[in-house]
Amino acid sequence: MTENLIPWITLTVFTPLLGAIVLALVPSEHKQLHRHMTVVFMGLTFVLSLPLVLLFDDAHVGYQLTAPVENVEWIAALGARYHVGIDGISLWLVMLTTFLGPIVALSGYSAIEKHVKEYHVALLVLQTAMLGALVSLDLLLFYIFWELMLVPMYFLIGVWGGAQRIYAAIKLFIYTMFGSVLMLVGIVYLYMKGGMVGFDITHLIEVGRSLSITEQRWLFVGFGLAFLIKVPLFPFHTWLPDAHVQAPTAGSVILASVLLKMGTYGLIRYAMPMLPDGVFWAAPYIAVLSVIGVIYGAVVAFVQKDVKKLVAYSSVSHLGVVTLGLFALTSASVTGALYQSLAHGITTGGLFLAIGIIYERRHTRDMDAFGGIARQVPVFAVLFLIVTLGSAGVPGLVGFIGEYLILLGSAQSYAIAFPAEETRMFGLAFGAVGWAFFFTAIAATGVILGALYLLHMYQKVMFGPVKHDENRSLLDVNGRELTYMFPVVAMCFVMGVFPQFFIQKMDTSVQHFIAQVEQHAVEYAPMVEENRAANRERRRFRGEGDAAFSWPMIDAARSGEFSFDNGRDDDGQADDADPLPDDDDTP
Amino acid sequence: MQDIPIYEFTLLGWIALLPLLGAIFNGILGARLPRALVSTVAAGAMGVAFILSIVAVWTLFQGRFEGADGHTLYGALYHNVFTWFEVGSLRVDFELLLDPLSAVMILIITGVGFLIHVYSIGYMEGDRSWWRFFTYLNFFVFAMLMLVLGDNLVVLFLGWEGVGVASYLLIGFWYEDDEKASAGKKAFIVNRVGDFAVLLALFLLVIYAGSLSVVELREWASTLSPAQVTALGGVLTAICILLFIGCTGKSAQIPLFVWLPDAMAGPTPVSALIHAATMVTAGVYLIARLNFLFVLSPTAMTLIAVIGGLTAFFAATIGVVQNDIKKVLAYSTVSQLGFMFLAVGVGSFFAGVFHLMTHAFFKALLFLGAGSVIHGMHHEQDIRRMGGLKDYMPITRWTFLVGCLAIAGFPLFSGFFSKDEILWYTLANVHLLGGVNLSWFLWFLALGTAFLTAFYMFRLYFLTFEGECRADEKTRSHIHESPLAMTLPLVVLAVLAGFGGFVGIPPVLGNALGGLPNVMHDWLYQVIGPGEAFFAYRFEGYGMAWMSMAAATASGIGGIALAWLFYGKPSDVPGAMAEKAAAVHRILSNKYYVDEFYAATVGRGVTLLGRVCHRLVDELLIDTLLVNGTARLMGFLGSVLRVVQNGQVQRYVAFVFLGIAIILYLVLR
C-alpha cells in the first residue's frame, strides 16, 4: 500500500462543519442561499469522499488511508489521539452518509420554512458527527462524535418536527443517553485496565480480550446496550417510531439510513472484537430478540395507519435480521449484515423521502387520506414502487442480497445456538445446526411479512379509486424531487445487480473480523473448535460414488481459464455406463 | 462416467436481455411515444428473442452425439454473464445454461410469448396505459427466461421472484379497481409464502451440497453413495418438500392455489401468458430440473403425486360450477397443473414437461379465445349471458373447439398424448406412502379428473358458442369477430394444440405403428433419463398400457357426451341437479370456502397479533409502564424530595429537631 499523504478522511469529515461555520456567518434572511450552500457543502463532502473508494486497497487487512497528520496527539494528559482511518467495514457506511448528504439537504427546500439557517447548520453538524464516529480509531474521539450526533438530531426533531416533537425528542435523547452512559462506564473501565495509556482502539481491543469472562459479560452488557438501543433491537425500539413520525423528512432519512447503522457499526467495530467471549455468551439471546423483532416489527407495521410509523416499524423488522446476521458470525451472514445495513439505508431512506414528498402535498401521513393517486402522480408511483420492492427484498434490487446472505449465513451458524444443557425445550433437543436453522426459518418469515405490509401500504396509498377530491389535483414530482429521488432509485438497481463491487471491498475486513472474534475466544474456544470439526463432518456428504454425468469444462469456464473452441471434441467416451448408484428405495 | 460437453454461446445472454431492453425502453420513453412504436418494440423484442432461441436450440441440436448407453445426448450451451456476488466459499455467478429442458422452455416462452404480444396489440387497443402493459409484459418474459436459463439456483430464484413481481403488476394492471389491486397483492404474498420455503431449501442445499449450481448439484446428488443417501434421508426429504412448497405457491397447488383464480382480474393476455402457459408451470420446471434430487426422496415424490392428484380433482370439481368464462379456465389451469405434478411425482418427468408444453398450447389458445369472446362481447364474462357465438365469431369458435378437444384428451389432439403418458406412469410405477401403494388410487383420481375436465370444458363450449344467444339486444348487435392481430395467434396456437402431441408418441402406440420414436422423450433424455431410471414398470408388455389409454379416452369422450346431454341442447337437467344437490352445489360454487378459511385464520391472525403487539406490548407495557413509568417514578421521587427542600426555615428547623430526636432514640434505646 502506498503512503497516503492527503488527509481525505479528515477533509470528508470536517467539510460539513466548515459549511456550518460559513452558514452561521450568513444572515438568516437569505433562506434560499442557506439551502443552496448546504447542498453545495454536502455535495463537496461527497466528492471529497470519492477518493476513499478509489484509493481503497481491497486486500489490506486493518485500517487504511490514514494520512500522517491523521494520527496525532490530541489530549496528551489522557493519551487520547486524533486518529482516523477506514477499513472495509466503515468504507461503505461513510460513502452512504456522504451520498445521502446532498439528498437530505435537497429534500427540505420547501418543507422547512422556519429557522432555515439553524436547520441547515444542524444538518451539517450532524453530518460531521456521523462521519467522525465512523472513521474514529480512538475510542474517546468516537465517544465524542457519538454524543455529538445526538445534539443536532435532538433539535431537528424538537424544533422542526410534528405535533408531539418534544416528547419524541426527549425520548430519543434519554433512550440513547441511557445506553451511552453505560458505554462510558465501559470505556473508563477498559482505559483503567489498559494502564491508562490511551484510547487507541487496537490497544483497547487487546485489553478487552484479555479480560475474564465475567468482566466481558458485564462490559458487553454496557457496550451492547448502547449499540443495540441504537439499532434498535426489540424491546428497546419504542423511541424509533416516535422519533420517525415526529421528525421532518430529512431527520427521518438520516435517522433510518445512518444513525441506526451506528448501532451495528459500533457492535462490529468495538463491542464484538473487544469482547469475544461476551459475544458468544450473548449471541443466542440476541438471536432470540432479533427474530422476535423481525416478526414483531412486521406485524405491528401491518396494523399501522400512519405511513411513517409503518416504515418505522419495518426498520425494527429489517434490523432484526441484521443483528441476527451479525451475531451468527459466519462470513456470509456478517457480509450480509453489512450489506443489509447499506440496503436498508437506501430503501428506507428512499421510503421516507417518498413519504415526505406526498406529505408536503397533503400534510397528512394517514394512509386512508390517500388511495388511487397512482394515476395523478405516475412518475412518483414508479419511484415509490421501486423503493418499496427494494425494501421487500425482491431479487435484482438492493434488498435481496443482504437478506439472502444473512439468512444463508445464519442457517449454518454455530454461534447463535444455546449451549447444550439449555437446549432441551418442550422435550426437544436442538443441536447447534437445529438452533441456527430454527432462528433462520423464523427470520425468513420476514420475507413473507415484509411483502405483506409493504404491498399493503403501497396499495392503500397508490391504488384503488380516488376517494378524496383533493387528491385529484395532486402534482407529480418536480425537478428537484426527481433529482434527489433518482440517485436513490438508481442505487437500488446498482446495488442489487452489481453487489460484488461493494462486497469485494468489505471481504477482507469481514474475514479478519470473524477470525479475530473466533481466535480470541477463551471460554468459548472449545465451541469454536467443535464447529470446525462439525464443518469437516458435514463434508463427508460430498460424493463418494461415481457421477453418471460430469461437466468437466464448467469449472474452467467459470474461472475463465477455459477457452471454448466451438468445435467439438466428440469423444464422449464412456468409462462408466451405470447411471446412478443403485440405492433407490423403489422396487 | 459420461462427460457432458458445454459450449460457450454468448447469444444466450441476448435472448434474456432483449425483452429486458424492450421493457426498459418502453418503461422510460413509452408514455411519450406513439402506440405503434411501443407495441412494435415490445413484440419485436419478443420476435427477435424467439428467433435467437431457435438459433440456440438448433445449435444445441447440432451438437448431438451418442452417449455411452446408446441415448442421444446434446451437451449444453453456456454463458457466464458476470459474477453476481462472492462471499467466502460461496460464489454466485450469473450463468446461463441451455440444455434440452431449458430449450423446450425458452421455445414455449418466447414463441407463445410472441404470439400473445401480437394478440395484445389487438386486445389492449384503446387502453390508456398501453405502454405500461407492454413494459410489464416484456419484463415478465425477461424474468421467466432468467428462471429457466439460470444455472445457479439463486439466478433461478431471481427469475422466480421476478415473475412474481411481473404477475403482481399485471394482475393489478387496472389498479383503480381496488379488488384487482388486492388480487395482485394476494398473488404476490401467497407466492412469497412459497418463496420462503424455497429460500430455506436453498440454505439446506448450501449447507449439505456446498453449491447452488444445478450442474454441480447434479454431480453431487449422483455421486452420493447409498449409505450417504440413507444418512441424509431426512435432509433430502426436507429439501424436496420445501422446494415443493415453493412450487405449490408458484404453480397454484393445494394449499397455496387460492391466488390463481383471483389472478383472472388481470387482462386476458396476461392470464394466457402468465397464469396458464408459462409462469405457473415454473414449479413443474423446477422439479424436472432438479429431478436428480427428488428421486432420492421417495416420500417427497409420493407427496408431490398425491398433492398433484388431489389438486387436479379438487379444482376440476370447482370448475364444473363456475359461470365466469375466465374462472372456469382458471380452475382448469389449477387442475391441469395438478396433472403435471402428478406426472413428476410419479417419476415421469418427461410426461410432466410434455403436458406442460401441450398445456401451454391449448390453454393459451383457450384463454386467448376467451379473451376474443370477452372482447367481442364488450367485457361480458358470464357464460350464462353468452351462447350462439359460433355465428358471430367463427374463427374464435373453431379454434376454441380445438382447444377444448385438446384439453379433453380427444384422441390424436395434443392433450391426448400427454394425459395418456401421465395416467400410464401413474399406474405403472409404484408410489408408496406409509407402506401403501397408491398407484390405483392416483390413477382413478386422474381418470375422474379427465372426465370432469372434458365435462366442464364442453359445458363451457356449449354454453358459449352453441345454442341461442342469451345476451341482451344491445350487446348482441355489437358482437363481432376479433381483428386479425387476435385471430392469427389463435390459428397458430390451434395448429400447435391440434398436432403438438405427435412429438411425444407413447411407446405403446409407437410400437404398434411400427416403431415411431418418442421424439420429445429422446430429446429430454439427457436431463431426465437418469432420474426416470429410478422407477421401474410394474407391468410386463403393453396390455395395461392399452387399458389405461382406453380408459382415458373413454372418460374424455364420456365427459364430452355428458356435457352435450346437459348443455348441447336446451335442458333443465343442470338446474334440477343443482337444486337436488343444493348443499354440494353451494360448497362448490363457494370453492370449498378455502378463501374464507384463510381470511378467518391467517388474515385475522396477523392483524390481531399486530394489534396486540402494538397496543399491549408497545404502548402499554414498554412505553406507558417502563419508559414513561420510569419518567413518572423520577417525577414522583422528585416531588417527594421537594417537600424536604421548600426553602422554609421553620421546616428545616423542624427537620433538624426530628433528626435529633431519631438519633437520641437510637442512642438511648
Model confidence pLDDT, tens digit, residues B546-570: 999 999 999 999 999 999 988 887 7
Task: Give the residue-averaged pLDDT of A563-574.
Answer: 41
Q: What pLDDT is attached to residue A538?
A: 65
Q: Shortest Cα distance from B22 to chain A (angstroms)?
A: 17
pLDDT bin (cut points 50, 70, 90) of residue A546 is low
The grid coordinates of residue A123 equal: 444538518
* B199, B216, B631 member nearest A447 (Cβ): B199
Model confidence pLDDT, tens digit, residues B404-446: 999 999 999 999 999 999 999 999 888 877 778 888 999 999 9
DSSP string, A465-494: ----GGGTT-----HHHHHHHHHHHHHHHH
Task: Give the residue-averaged pLDDT of A135-164.
Answer: 91
Which residue's entry shows cell 379438487?
B314
pLDDT bin (cut points 50, 70, 90) of residue A556 is low
- How many residues in chain A? 587
Is B533 a residue whose pLDDT tops 90? Answer: no
Pairing of strands B432-433, B6-8: unpaired
pLDDT bin (cut points 50, 70, 90) of residue A252 is very high
pTM given for the model: 0.91
B533, burial (CB in 10 Å: exposed 0-12, middle 13-18, buried 19+): middle
DSSP state of B252: T
Cβ–Cβ contact A561 with B under 8 A: no
Q: What pLDDT is attached to residue B536?
A: 75
Helix, coil or strand: residue B398? helix
How much is the ipTM here?
0.90
Would you tell me which residues 216-255 of chain A have a C-beta closer than 8 angstroms to some C-beta of chain B? 235, 238, 241
Would you tell me which residues 426-485 of chain B have a C-beta closer than 8 angstroms to some C-beta of chain A? 429-430, 432
> Are B372 and B482 spatial neighbours (Cβ–Cβ below 8 Å)?
yes
Q: How far apart are CA B456 and CA A77, in angstroms?
A: 90
Cβ–Cβ contact A535 with B under 8 A: no
The grid coordinates of residue A172 equal: 430519543
Cβ–Cβ contact B56 with A under 8 A: no
Task: Give the residue-averaged pLDDT of A144-167.
Answer: 90
Would you tell me which residues 298-317 of chain A have a C-beta closer than 8 angstroms to some C-beta of chain B? 299-304
Residue B506 exposure: Cα atoms within 13 Å on the Cβ side: 24
Under 8 Å CB-to-CB from B102, ≥6 apart: which residues?
A: B148, B149
Q: What pLDDT is attached to residue A28?
A: 84
Would you tell me which residues 338-357 of chain A have a C-beta closer than 8 angstroms to some C-beta of chain B? none
Q: What pLDDT is attached to residue A398?
A: 92
Q: Domain extents for chain A?
A: 8-526
Q: How far apart are CA A310 and CA A196, in angstroms?
A: 47
Which region among A282-291, B346-355, B427-436, B560-569 has the lowest average model confidence (pLDDT)?
A: B427-436
Q: How far apart are CA A554 and CA A544, in angstroms?
A: 20
Q: How far apart are CA A356 and CA A111, in angstroms?
A: 9
Which region among A220-229, A245-254, B413-422, B625-634 has the lowest average model confidence (pLDDT)?
A: B625-634
Q: How far apart are CA A308 and CA B235, in angstroms?
A: 42
Q: How far apart are CA B80 and CA B646, in angstroms?
A: 81
* B66, B86, B199 member nearest A503 (Cβ): B86
Q: Shortest Cα distance from B296 to chain A (angstroms)?
A: 7
Is A574 a residue whose pLDDT tops 60? Answer: no
Across the interface, whether the CB atoms of B298 and A585 are under 8 A apart is answered yes
Which region among A77-81, A396-400, A432-436 has the lowest average model confidence (pLDDT)?
A: A432-436
> Are A65 and A42 spatial neighbours (Cβ–Cβ below 8 Å)?
no
Across the interface, whether the CB atoms of B228 and A541 are under 8 A apart is answered yes
Is A269 a residue whose pLDDT tops 70? Answer: yes
Q: Is the peptide bond before A232 cis (omega within 30 degrees of 0)?
A: yes
pLDDT bin (cut points 50, 70, 90) of residue A526 is confident
Question: Quick one: which H or E segment has residue A95?
Answer: helix A88-107
Task: Give the residue-averaged pLDDT of B225-240.
Answer: 85
Is A565 a residue whose pLDDT tops 60? Answer: no
Look over chain A and give the mean of its residue pLDDT values, rounded to a whole number: 86
Across the interface, whether the CB atoms of A303 and B607 are under 8 A apart is answered yes
Task: Give the residue-averaged pLDDT of A373-377.
Answer: 88
Cβ–Cβ contact B154 with A under 8 A: yes
Q: Is the peptide bond before A235 cis (omega within 30 degrees of 0)?
A: yes
Q: How far apart are CA B180 and CA B266, in angstroms?
A: 7
Pairing of strands B65-66, B72-73: antiparallel
* B76, B87, B298 member nearest A331 (Cβ): B87
For A214-242, the three-class secondary structure string (H helix, E strand, C coil) is HHHHHHHHHHHHHHHHHCCCCCCCCHHHH
Q: How far apart are CA A327 and CA A418, in angstroms?
A: 13
* Phi, psi (rounded to 5 degrees) for A105: -65, -45
For residue A251, give the nearest of A109, A143, A114, A122 by alpha carbon: A122
The grid coordinates of residue A191 equal: 482505559
pLDDT bin (cut points 50, 70, 90) of residue B187 is very high
Cβ–Cβ contact A465 with B under 8 A: yes
pLDDT bin (cut points 50, 70, 90) of residue A510 is very high
Which region among A290-294, A432-436, B127-131, B152-156 has the lowest average model confidence (pLDDT)?
A: A432-436
Task: Give the residue-averaged pLDDT of B634-660.
Answer: 84
* A238, A301, A542 member nearest B210 (Cβ): A542
Is A429 a residue whose pLDDT tops 80? Answer: no
Task: State which residue of chain A sits closest to B538, comparing Cα positions.
Answer: A587
Q: What is the dihedral of CA B572, B574, B576, B580, to 10 degrees?
A: 170
* A459, A572, A586 member nearest B298 (Cβ): A586
Q: Shortest Cα distance from B626 to chain A (angstroms)?
A: 11
Cβ–Cβ contact B62 with A under 8 A: no
Task: State which residue of chain B sits closest to A388, comparing Cα positions.
Answer: B165
For residue A230, give the nearest of A189, A283, A202, A271 by alpha carbon: A271
Residue A442 exposure: Cα atoms within 13 Å on the Cβ side: 18
Is B280 a residue whose pLDDT tops 50? Answer: yes
Name residue B354's amino acid. Answer: F
Q: What pLDDT is attached to residue A421?
A: 52
Q: How far apart are CA B558 and CA B570, in angstroms?
A: 19
Q: Which of B2, B71, B87 to mutate to test the interface with A (most CBs of A within 10 A)?
A: B87
Q: Which of A331, A385, A586 to mutate to test the interface with B (most CBs of B within 10 A)?
A: A586
Is B35 a residue whose pLDDT tops 50? Answer: yes
Q: What pLDDT is attached to residue A256?
A: 92
Cβ–Cβ contact A426 with B under 8 A: no
pLDDT bin (cut points 50, 70, 90) of residue A432 is low
pLDDT bin (cut points 50, 70, 90) of residue A548 is low
DSSP state of A419: P
Q: Which of B239, B613, B627 to mutate to test the interface with A (most CBs of A within 10 A)?
A: B613
For residue B346, give the nearest of B424, B282, B235, B230 by alpha carbon: B424
Which residue's entry shows cell 451405470?
A578
DSSP state of B76: E
pLDDT bin (cut points 50, 70, 90) of residue A428 is low
Task: State which residue of chain B sits closest to A235, comparing Cα positions.
Answer: B622
Task: Give the residue-averaged pLDDT of B234-238.
Answer: 87
For B457-514, the three-class secondary structure string (H helix, E strand, C coil) is HHHHHHHHHCCCCCCCHHHHHHCCCCCHHHHHHHHHHHHHHHHHHHHHCCHHHHHHCC
pLDDT bin (cut points 50, 70, 90) of residue B650 is confident
Task: State which residue of chain B sits closest to A504, comparing Cα positions.
Answer: B86
pLDDT bin (cut points 50, 70, 90) of residue A20 is very high
Question: Quick one: which H or E segment has residue B359?
Answer: helix B349-376
With beta carbons under 8 A apart, name residues in chain B contacting A545: 222-225
From residue A510, alpha-carbon distances to A134, A527, A529, B144 in Å are 16, 20, 20, 35
Question: Quick one: which H or E segment has residue B94?
Answer: strand B90-98
With beta carbons under 8 A apart, name residues in chain B contacting A464: 175-178, 181
Which residue's entry shows cell 449450481?
B213
Across the interface, whether the CB atoms of B196 and A448 are under 8 A apart is answered yes
Across the interface, whether the CB atoms of A548 and B222 are under 8 A apart is answered yes
Cβ–Cβ contact A110 with B under 8 A: no
* Phi, psi (rounded to 5 degrees) for B146: -60, -40
Q: How far apart are CA A519 and CA B577, in angstroms?
A: 77
- How many residues in chain B? 669
Q: How far apart are CA A165 and CA A244, in angstroms?
A: 10
Q: What pLDDT is attached to residue B555?
A: 94
Q: What pLDDT is attached to residue A319?
A: 94
Is A561 a residue whose pLDDT tops 60? Answer: no
Cβ–Cβ contact B253 with A under 8 A: no
Q: What pLDDT is attached to residue B594?
A: 85
Cβ–Cβ contact A507 with B under 8 A: yes
> Are B131 and B32 spatial neighbours (Cβ–Cβ below 8 Å)?
no
Q: Provide the H-helix boundaries in B533-627.
A: 543-563, 573-580, 582-589, 594-598, 604-611
Q: What pLDDT is attached to residue B5?
A: 84
Across the interface, whether the CB atoms of B613 and A300 are under 8 A apart is answered yes
Across the interface, whether the CB atoms of A411 and B162 are under 8 A apart is answered no
Across the interface, whether the CB atoms of A405 and B6 are under 8 A apart is answered no
Across the interface, whether the CB atoms of A572 and B68 are under 8 A apart is answered yes
Model confidence pLDDT, tens digit, residues A329-366: 988 999 999 999 999 999 999 999 999 999 988 888 88
Look over chain B and give the mean of its residue pLDDT values, rounded to a whole number: 89
Q: Shortest Cα distance from A77 to chain B (angstroms)?
A: 37
For residue B359, give the nearest of B249, B290, B281 by alpha carbon: B281
Q: What pLDDT is attached to residue A73?
A: 87
Q: How far apart are CA B458 and CA B511, in angstroms?
A: 32
